[in-house]
Structure 1
Amino acid sequence: MEEKKFDFNSLIGFVLIAGILIWMLYQNAPTPEELEEKARIENLEKQNAEKPQEVKTIDTSAIPIQDSGLEVNDSLQLEKLKNQLGSFAYAASLPSATDAVTTIENDVLELKVSNKGGYIVEATLKNYKTYDSIPIYLIKDGNASLNLQFQAENRLLNTKDLYFEPTLSQSGNNQILSMKLKTSETSYLEYRYELKPGEYMLDFAVQTKGLSSVINTSEPAQMEWQLKAYRKAKSVSYENRYTELIWEYEGGKDDYLGQGKSKEDEAKDVTYIAYKQHFFTSILLTDTPFKSTRFLSENLVEDEEIDTVYTKNFVTKFPLEFKTGELAYTMNWYYGPTDFKILDGYDRNLDEVVPLGWGIFGWINKYLFMKLFTWLSVWLPNYGIVIIVMTILIKIALSPVQYKQYLSQAKMKVLKPEIEELTKKYKDNAMKKQQETMKLYSKAGASPMAGCLPALMQLPVFYALFMFFPSAFQLRQKGFLWADDLSSYDSVIDLPFYIPFYGDHVSLFPILASIAIFIYMMMTMGQSMQMQQQPGMPNMKFIMYLSPLFMLVFFNNFASGLSLYYFISQVITIGIMLFIKYFILDEEKILARIEENKKKPKKQNRFQKKMSEMMEQAEQQKQLQQKKKK
């Protein structure tokens, strides 16, 4: 038998291997900090085991999920994540636990969805630009967030701090993006986005699978949607005036948060929430109404010289309720223009987002002016011409009413000498003067109120148009003459300084409209000044100067399309008045007709008879009191 010899080379090999193993053990030995963290975790687990009746909720929103000094697959890091997130630590251990984004897009809309939070972090409208030629971003650079807060394994978790795993697929021409916040491969919370070609609206679903044993389903999850609205127009103050939060509730009712520094409200059974930024809107719609919803709108424009980036901050909070231990909500997102035609086409009552006015004003705009404007825009080459032709047609339609108004003013002008005589005759007896004046009006077939009623009849039309033109999306960035955008002011001079309430520019259309209003007021001042002599009437001369000044100052920042309408409207009104005065009405014929009416026995109606009796009784009582004093 051969005797084994000692192999010196083998000894060297074993020594080297042992040295390498010792060096590796030394390098991988836990640091004192890691040993301390492990001891803390073991101590915490021991305390939890000893006191199972104490439930402590941990808010993870303020805790960083990953420690940049450790790898995710490190056992201690996994323990730390499990301590922070419980079963949702699985999501943080996946390769998708980064700030990467996934893009879905069609020919009109591009959306970027972040792995962190699973929500849309950038929304771009491809076919539109801001006043300074920058693409329209409804969401960008952290101005919006969507967070779902829920309790899971004695922890309060916020999805905006957690990582979703994206899966992009195709269904026909539709793009589908599934964002899953996982506790395992078969258990997850999912945000599902589906975008169709050519659509500003996309399907959105919030659903869970296999989480009933992880999440506390006895309490609803709380969702919060926040957005800071970017400025997109030349005048931040004008855009801010039409930037507001709108919602639909209780089966078709709608409401909104008006202007103010900070506004809050609540509603039940909410079916959509709209963050309207004048001409562009972000909307969240739901098939299952949110039972209780809280709204907040904060005005971010305190000084329009300084606050030039954002207009308002919107926040909405609402519950998502679990059914049979799971979430299953079918919703929609809309990111697009505040265009009546587009919104009305979805048949979801979204046309209420366009501020056409309430009651009869909205009805006039929706069923009359909107259709007329659309029809004219098909046949006419420019929207400025559309406004002019539309104004002419409306003024012609109202000309019979204006004729009655001017006829009443002409009668009052003819009666003015007789009224002045009554004023002198009964200057010490106001009651008698009023009584005789009413008798004169009755005999002549005239009334000072006859001129007011036609004017009141025109008010719904004027107010409806005041609401219509600022809301007409078609006017956006459409030029006419010197105005490069009929939806914004028509600056012809840029001032090197800022004037409070006026701005840092000079708009021409408001100046022209102010001049036209002043001429109109001068033409009608004669009768107004006569009326002003009666007690209790306002100073008409003051009003004559105030109206043009109001137009000049406050409309300097308004849409030039609206100022163009007022200018053309006043010019046409002046033209109609001159035509009626010189070609239709004859003051001599009016006077002759009044004299004929005086000769005819005038039968008083019940109201006039009652008023005459009351005035006669008052006059008799006054005479009796004077006799007693004597």
Structure 2
Amino acid sequence: MEEKKLDIKTLIGFGLIMLLLIWMIYNQTAEQDAKAREEEKKEQIDKITDKTVPENNTATAVKDSAVADSVTTAEMKSALGAFAYSVSLPSAKGGVTEIENELLDLKVSNKGGYITAATLKNFEQFHKGSNQRVELINNNNVDFNLQFQTKDNRILNTRDLYFEPQLSKEGENTVLAMRLKAGPQQFLEYRYVLKPKDYMLDFSIRTQGLSNIVNTVKPMGLEWQLKSFRNEKSVTYENRYTELIYEYEEGKDDYLGQGSNEAEKADEVTYIAFKQHFFTSVLLTDTPFKTAEMVSENLVKDEKVDTLFTKNFKANMPLEFKGGELSYNMNWYYGPCDYKILNNYDRNLDEIMPLGWGIFGWINRFIFIPAYGLLSSFIPYGIAIIIFTILVRLLMSPITYKSYLSQAKMKVIRPEIAELNEKYKKDPMKKQQETMKLYSKAGVSPMAGCLPALMQIPVFYALFQFFPSYFDLRQKSFLWADDLSSYDSIAHLPFYIPFYGNHVSLFPILASVAIFFYMKMTTGDQSMAQPPQEGMPDMSKIMKIMIYISPVMMLIFFNNYASGLSLYYFISNLITIGIMLVIKNYIVKEEKVHAIIQENKAKPKKQSKFQKRMQEMMEQAQEQQKARQNKK
């Protein structure tokens, strides 16, 4: 009886039925999912705005006068001791002081004395034209606090206390001094200096006349916390590049991982960066923090629901007293993760950029960033990527030539290797020995095809780091892609596919098609060149499977990646296919390769010391094997 098989029409029918079922399920649950997302957003906002003070952190929490009329001045004075002077000042009430330049708009709260709003004037969220500026700080997503102990063992937190603002000008600089007073000449001061056209603020913390009030034996505890807002189109992609980075021990740098909850402790820390994908908040200090305890918590548990925040960052550092007083000169940076801007500060801030370590970072810093920056300075960014890709592939073409030449040589001597395999199939040692002799006579190396591929890995990895990190690609459009730093959606799906998403990006599809034809072309030559070895898996079968697996994996993986990166791989594979066709049809012809091999065979070959040693070892092993067989 003939066995029934599934034909293409049956498969299509099953596929249509599955799509219909998925569509019906989606329509039934769409309304519930929308409600769930709204409720989740509301819960996230409620959590971040409902900032409570831990019970063991303060003796008495001083409440905002606008909402705590029941707290009398006498009760405040009783709780604060010497710092009760601050609650008697006219400015000891809620309010903010706004300072700004051409790039930044900052709001500093009287309560706590720290920056409670930081807006970047020249950058927009999500899609260009939304008119919603990038906000690194807003809606109480930040906490900055100094915790200290008084001489009478009271524990106070500056987040609960009121500072007096003093705004002034020093030349073109805007200066804001926030003072928490314990008397006319006794205070804790935060001093902010904002310069024109600069993302970096000077910031200092100092005390005056508090040595008889504050316990200076124990350091003040500096606490900084930030829940990073989502500012890009893809929350998943943005979260992948959102991380905590720090510098320690005179120039070393490191970062916390991407796990759900990562923690680290470091000594002699000189800066801490709460980095988002394309923007960052950085606290730098001239006097290194003796220690720093840092935490990064992933807030995106479900990318369909958790769309307001990406990560929750925390850092705790002790501030040491010297001579009974506190004095730390620091800086704040609120701005873009732009390599050119960060590198100009000469504070090692370029390490915040994930450009890769070692040779990968060098390639990006000294080759790719200058080269692409030059191209994009006078031509559109999408066209610049295409020209940049052409230049990279042309520079790599000698390596492609070497790789293909090696494959062609292996293909020519394949029949001779097959003969050796058959002749010495019962003597693997002799077969290996004769095969090596053949390689030597023909001037062929089986490793010659691998080395060019290995040489391309640093370039491949550097580019993989370059495109997602290059700030200038943000919100730059090309063809159907409205943002080269994010995915290029051409269709929105009515359902969510795990690992793929709920949209269709076109550049990854084109790149996958191109890599399919490239692998189809090269894999055939490789399978013809490499004869199967006894006892080893048939690599030709594995490579044939990879022809189909690799494009599919690329399609899934790159669907949510930067469209600029997918554009690069699409153009790169097209160019590589063209180079391979030229090499195959016009440069490396099989008859010429055959003639070269025959010529090499005719030449007397002088073995190197290493080759002689290897041959001697193989001959000794062969003799020992024969001796063991004779004893048996």
Matched residue type, 2:440: S
2:503 pairs with 1:508: no
Q: Sort the Cα spacing of 1:385 and 1:70 in 2 relative to 1 into closer, same or farther, 3 A.
A: closer
Distance 2:591 2:66 in 1: 97
Partner of 2:323: 324
Superposed CA deviations along residues 383-423 of structure 1, whole A, max 9, x for unmatched, are 01111111111111111111111111110111111122222
Deviates more, 1:552-561 or 1:244-253: 244-253
Higher relative contact order (CA 8 A, sep 6+): 2
SS in 2 for 1:582: helix
User: Is it true that 1:606 corresponds to 2:605 in the alignment?
Assistant: no
Distance 1:70 1:407 in 2: 85
* 1:469 to 2:467 alignment: yes
- CA shift, 1:442, in A, is 0.9
Equivalent residue runs for 1:587-602 within 5 Å: 587-602=590-605
Amino acid at match of 1:345: N
> Equivalent residue of 1:390, what SS?
helix
> 1:477-626 residue pairs with structure 2 within 5 A?
477-530=475-528, 531=530, 533-534=532-533, 535-536=535-536, 539-626=542-629
Structure 2 matches for 1:54-453, cutoff 5 A? 59-60=58-59, 62=61, 64=63, 70=69, 77-132=72-127, 133=130, 134-152=132-150, 153-380=152-379, 382-453=380-451
Given that 1:61 and 1:158 are in contact with CA atoms closer than 8 Å, whether structure 2 keeps it comes out as no
Distance 1:403 1:200 in 2: 48
Secondary structure, counterpart of 1:506 in structure 2: strand
CA distance in 2 between counterparts of 1:71 and 1:627 reads: 104
Deviation by residue 1:438-487 (Cα, 9 ceiling, x = unmatched): 11111100011001111111111111111111111000000011101000
Change (3 A) 1:140 1:586: same
Q: Is the 8 A contact 1:168 1:178 kept in 2?
A: yes
CA distance in 2, matches of 1:158, 1:209: 18
Aligned equivalents of 1:113, 1:434: Cα separation in 2: 76
Measure how far apart 1:536 and its partner are: 4.3
Alignment CA distance shift 1:68-1:99 (3 Å): closer
Q: Quick check: which has more Rg, 1 or 2?
A: 1
Measured after TM superposition, the shift of residue 434 of structure 1 is 2.0
One-letter amino acid of the counterpart of residue 279, structure 1: F
* In 2: Cα distance, 1:274 partner to 1:61 partner: 32
- How much does 1:588 deviate? 0.6
Residues 580 and 241 of structure 1: CA distance in aligned 2, closer, same or farther (over 3 Å): same
SS in 2 for 1:145: strand
Displacement of 1:78 after TM fit?
Answer: 3.3
Name the CA distance, whole Å, in 2 between partners of 1:193 and 1:452.
Answer: 57
Q: Is the 8 A contact 1:247 1:256 kept in 2?
A: yes
Aligned equivalents of 2:321, 2:262: Cα separation in 1: 30
Q: Give the distance between the partners of 2:115 and 2:557, measured in 1 at CA.
A: 38
Q: 1: distance between equivalents of 2:363 and 2:420? A: 45
1:1-54: CA deviation from partner (whole Å, max 9, x where unpaired): xxxxxxxxxxxxxxxxxxxxxxxxxxxxxxxxxxxxxxxxxxxxxxxxxxxxxx
After TM superposition, the structure 1 stretch with the greater mean CA deviation from structure 2, 486-495 or 620-629, is 620-629
Inter-CA distance 151–431: structure 2 relative to 1 (3 Å threshold): same
**TM-score when scaled to structure 1?**
0.87
In 2, Cα distance between equivalents of 1:61 and 1:232 = 37
Matches of 1:503 and 1:70 in 2, distance apart? 51
Which residue of structure 2 lines up, in the alignment, with residue 3 of structure 1?
Answer: none
Structure 1 residues 356 and 68, CA gap change in structure 2 (3 angstroms): closer
Q: Secondary structure at the match of 2:413?
A: helix
The answer to which of 214-223 and 88-97 deviates more is 88-97
Number of corresponding residues: 568
Contact map agreement 2:355 2:364 (CA 8 A) in 1: yes
CA distance in 2, matches of 1:544, 1:435: 33
Distance in structure 1 (CA, Å) of the matches to 2:120 and 2:536: 56
AA aligned to 1:341 is K
Instruction: Give the distance between the partners of 1:171 and 1:592, measured in 2 at CA.
Output: 81
Residue 43 of structure 2: aligned partner: none
**Structure 2 CA distance for aligned equivalents of residues 206 and 96 of structure 1:** 20
Distance in 1 separating the partners of 2:312 and 2:334: 17
Q: Is the 8 A contact 1:61 1:161 kept in 2?
A: no
Shift of 1:66: 5.5
- Please give the secondary structure, in 2, of the residue aligned with 1:498: strand
Instruction: For 1:536 and 1:95, locate their aligned partners in 2 and report how far apart those are by CA, in whole Å.
Output: 85
Look up the match of 1:458: 456
Deviates further, 191-200 or 608-617: 608-617
- Output the CA distance in 1 between the equivalents of 2:399 and 2:543: 22
Q: Deviations over 1:195-235 (max 9, x none)?
A: 11111111111111111111001111010111011111121
Counterpart of 1:213 in structure 2: which amino acid? N
**Could you list the per-position Cα deviations for residues 247-270 of structure 1 after superposition, in whole angstroms to 9, with x for gaps in the alignment?**
111111111112111111111111
Shift of 1:584: 0.9
1:7 corresponds to: none
Cα distance, 1:67–1:274 mapped onto 2, change above 3 Å:
closer
Q: Summarize deviations over 1:74-119 as a string: whole Å, max 9, x none.
A: xxx3332222111112212323232211110111100011111111
- Structure 2: where are the runs of 5+ without partners? 1-55
Identity among equivalent positions (%) equals 63
AA in 2 matched with 1:276? K
Q: Do the aligned residues in 1 keep the contact of 2:107 with 2:117 (CA within 8 Å)? A: yes
Q: 1:619 offset after TM fit, Å?
A: 2.2
Paired residue secondary structure (1:448): coil
Normalised by the size of structure 2, how large is the TM-score? 0.87
3-state DSSP of counterpart to 2:575: helix
- 1:366 positional shift: 0.7
d(CA) in 1 for partners of 2:208, 2:531? 77
> Secondary structure of 1:557's partner?
coil
Shift in CA distance, 58/435, structure 1 to aligned 2, threshold 3 Å: closer
What SS is found at the alignment partner of 1:450?
Answer: coil
